[in-house]
A and B are shown apart, each in its own frame.
Chain A
Amino acid sequence: MPSSEKLGNFTEQDAPTYESVLQCMRCGFCLPTCPTFALTGRERSSPRGRVALARAVAEEKLEFTVAVKQEAFFCLDCRACTTACPSGVKAGEVMEVCRSQAQQQSPPGHMASSFRSFILQRMLPDPDRLEMSMLPARLYQKLGIQWLVRHAKVLKLGPSWMEKAEGMLPALDAPLRPQEPEITPARGEKRGRVGFFLGCVMTLMYPNVSRQTVRVLAAQGFEVVTPPSTKCCGAPHLSEGDRQTARELALFNLNLFMQTEVDFIVTDCAGCGAALKEYEELLESAAEHDRLVVFREKIRDISEFLAEVGLRTEAMQLINKTVTYHEPCHLCHAQGISRQPRELLKQIPGLELREMNEASWCCGSAATWGLKFSRESQQVLDRKLNNVSQTGAELLVTANPGCQLQLAWGVREAGMTQEVVHVMELLGAATLDG
Chain B
Amino acid sequence: MLSRTTIDELQRVVGAANVASEPEDLLVLGYDSTPGIHHLPEVAVYPTSTEGVLAVLEIARRDGLPVTPRGSGTGLSGGSVPAKGGMVLCLNRMNKILEIDEENLTATVEAGVVTLDLFNATAKKGLFYPPDPGSQKISTLGGNVMEDAGGLRGLKYGVTRDYVMALQCVLPDGSLIQTGGKSVKDVAGYAFKDLLVGSEGTLGIITEITVKLIPPPRDKRTILAYFSDIRTAGEAVSKIIAAKIIPSTMEIMDKATINCVEDYVKIGLPRSMAALLLIEVDGHPAQVAEEAAAVEVILRQVRAAEIHIAKDAEQAAGLAAARRTALSALARMSPTTLLEDATVPRSMLAETFAEIERLTAKYKLNVGTFGHAGDGNLHPTVLCDERDLEEMHRAHAFYDELYAQVLAWGGTVSGEHGIGIAKKEYLARQIGAGGVAVMKRIKQAFDPNGILNPGKIFADERE
- Enumerate chain A interface residues (CB-CB to B < 8 A): 19, 22-29, 31-32, 41-44, 46, 48-49, 52-53, 56, 61-62, 65, 67-68, 71, 85-88
Contact = CB atoms under 8 A, between A and B. Distances in A.
B33 interface: yes
A154 to B, nearest CB: 34
Given A26-B32, A27-B33, A27-B74, A86 B329 contact: yes
Contacts of B93: 41
Interface stretch (B21-29, B196-204, B361-369): B21-29
A25 B25 contact: no
Contacts of A42: 20, 25
A25 B33 contact: yes
B181 to A, nearest CB: 31
Given A44-B28, A56-B27, A27 B22 contact: no
Nearest to B326: A86
A26 B25 contact: no
A169 to B, nearest CB: 35
Contacts of A88: 263-264, 332
B51 to A, nearest CB: 19
Contacts of B73: 26, 28, 43
Contact of A31 (B138, B260, B337): B138
Interface in B246-264: 260-261, 263-264
B276 to A, nearest CB: 17
B92 A65 contact: no
A52 B29 CA distance: 10
B46 A87 contact: no
A257 B280 CA distance: 53
A415 to B, nearest CB: 29
B28 A29 contact: no
B137 interface: yes
Contacts of A23: 331-332, 335
Contact of A25 (B29, B35, B92): B35
Contacts of A32: 114, 137-138
Nearest to A89: B331
B135 A68 contact: no
Contact of A87 (B28, B72, B137, B328): B328
A322 to B, nearest CB: 24
Contacts of B28: 43-44, 46, 48-49, 52-53
A246 B32 CA distance: 37
A interface majority secondary structure: loop
Contacts of B332: 23, 86-88
B31 interface: yes
Given A19-B335, A41-B92, A86-B332, A27 B327 contact: yes
A71 B24 contact: yes
B94 to A, nearest CB: 10
Contacts of B35: 25
Contacts of A31: 72, 138
Nearest to B35: A25
B72 A61 contact: no
Nearest to A46: B28
A29 B23 contact: no
Nearest to B386: A22
A362 B242 CA distance: 50
A101 to B, nearest CB: 15
Contact of B25 (A27, A43, A56): A43
A28 B264 contact: no
Interface string B22-55: 1111011101110100000000001000000000
A52 B27 contact: yes
Contacts of A27: 33, 74, 135, 138, 327-328, 331
Contacts of B328: 25, 27, 29, 85-87
17 contacts: A23-B331, A25-B337, A26-B31, A27-B331, A28-B73, A32-B138, A42-B20, A44-B28, A49-B28, A52-B27, A65-B23, A67-B22, A86-B260, A86-B261, A86-B329, A87-B331, A88-B332
Contacts of A26: 31-33, 73
Which of B74, B261, B263 has most A Cβ within 10 Å?
A: B74
B373 to A, nearest CB: 20
Interface string B194-234: 00000000000000000000000000000000000000000
A19 B23 CA distance: 24
B179 interface: no
